[in-house]
Amino acid sequence: MDKLIHGTAASGTVRVLAAITTETIAEAVRRHGTSPTASAALGRLMTGTLLLGSTLKGCDRLTTRVECNGLIGGITAEANAEGEVRGYVKNPLAELPLKENGKFDVSGIIGDGMFHIIRESGLNIGVKREPYIGSVPITSGEIAEDFAYYLAKSEQIPSAVLLGVRLNNREPFVAASGGVLVQMMPGANDHIITMIEDTIINAPHITEVIDAGAKPEDLVKLALGEIDFEILDEKPIQFKCNCSYDRALKTIASLGRDEVESMIEQDGDATMNCGYCNESFVVSAEGLREILAGY
Ligand code: ZN
């Protein structure tokens, strides 16, 4: 099962999160039928959202939204504190040829636009608070760099972010997926920062080590090298959506009496599709009549 770990190093001045997300991203790719490059983009965004969501105390839900003018049209990923994540892209079949270095042209299908991070809190205790929204322009479009830019610019936390998705050509199509987030907290000394930078520059690509069977701890070592670290927390992660038949009924009911009546007259039933997980819920004519009776 996929797992995320949270650790600390250098007397608490370095925070590190690492996750293996291979099965989680395979599930997203299976549900949305994404092209290879769109799969890489979605997998990177979902993994980064999981990592960042786990760093924020008191944040119940973190949503990352890429609003862009490239072929993919936009990407959204949402993670909660329980390690559940869901996500989708606007145009699942968006595709471009591989770049000269053999990598997916993720920045090519994203193009220009904005990178938004939305944090919500108080959900678990039923308190409705205004969400916090931070936005920066897309600077790289390769996603890991965009998370790092957001953290430096919007939260003033110097960070290194590594995200990777490796695909193969047979089901479940995702051979390896995961990420590491390293944050320099106040008091981090320059020597440690330089050591980490050097380690990361010389490290093998993250998907190479995941494909070879790495655990999250191995990803931490890949980023921190010789620096000792302590694991504070670990949790399983999975693709999970909170849609349901009952939610579909509520959504239909919110459309109003006239709309529900015309659904019965024109189609006989109604099909609701959840954009996040691509699940469909069919509400029969009888179910629609029950909604009408409830107004
Ligand atoms: Zn859903």
Q: Which residue has the tokens 């039923």?
A: 126
pLDDT at position 122, please? 76
Q: Helix, strand or coil for residue 259?
A: helix
pLDDT at 123 over 80: no
Do 89 and 184 fall into the same domain?
yes
Same domain, 126 and 156: yes
Q: Which of 239, 261, 280 is the last residue of a domain?
A: 239
Same domain, 32 and 87: yes
Q: Which phi-psi region, left, alpha or beta, contains residue 134 (left: φ > 0; alpha: ψ -120 to 50)?
A: beta
Domain check: are 119 and 22 in the same one? Answer: yes
- Same domain, yes or no, for 231 and 262? no
CATH of the domain at 218: 3.55.30.10
pLDDT of residue 257: 93
What mean pLDDT is predicted for residues 171-185? 95
The answer to whether residues 139 and 188 belong to one domain is yes
Ligand 1 center–CA 279 separation, angstroms: 6
Domain C-terminal end among 202, 222, 239? 239
Mean confidence (pLDDT) of the chain = 94
Q: Report how far ligand 1's centroid is from the alpha carbon of 35 (Å).
A: 20
The CATH number that applies at residue 288 is: 3.90.1280.10
Range of the domain at 198: 3-239
Residues 181 and 269 in one domain: no
The answer on 223 and 270 residing in a single domain is: no
Q: How far does the centroid of ligand 1 lie from the alpha carbon of residue 277, in Å?
A: 4
Residues 44 and 143 in one domain: yes
How many angstroms is it from 283 CA to the middle of ligand 1? 16
How many Å lie between the centroid of ligand 1 and the Cα of residue 250? 14
pLDDT at 126 over 90: no
pLDDT at 253 over 90: yes
How far away, in angstroms, is 90 Cα from ligand 1 center?
Answer: 15
The angle formed by the CA atoms of residues 246, 128 and 272, to the nearest 5 degrees, is: 25
Average pLDDT over residues 245-268: 93
pLDDT in tens, 67-119: 999 999 999 999 998 899 999 999 999 999 999 999 999 999 999 999 999 99
Question: Do 259 and 151 share a structural domain?
Answer: no
Residue 221 sits in the same domain as residue 254: no
Asked if residue 282 and residue 232 are part of one domain, the reply reads: no
Q: What is the mean pLDDT of residues 44-65?
A: 92
Residue 259 predicted with pLDDT over 90 = yes
Domain count, the chain: 2
Ligand 1 centroid – CA 242 distance (Å): 6
The pLDDT assigned to 128 comes to: 72
Please give the distance, rounded to the nearest whole angstrom, from the Cα atom of residue 124 to the centre of ligand 1.
Answer: 19
CA 246–ligand 1 middle distance (angstroms):
12
Omega of the bond prior to 36 within 30 degrees of 0, cis? no
CA angle 226, 227, 229 (to 5 degrees): 125
**Ligand 1 ion local residues (Cβ < 5 A):** 241, 243, 274, 276-277, 279
Report the distance separating Cα 80 and Cα 124, nearest Å: 11
C-alpha of residue 33 to centroid of ligand 1, in Å: 15
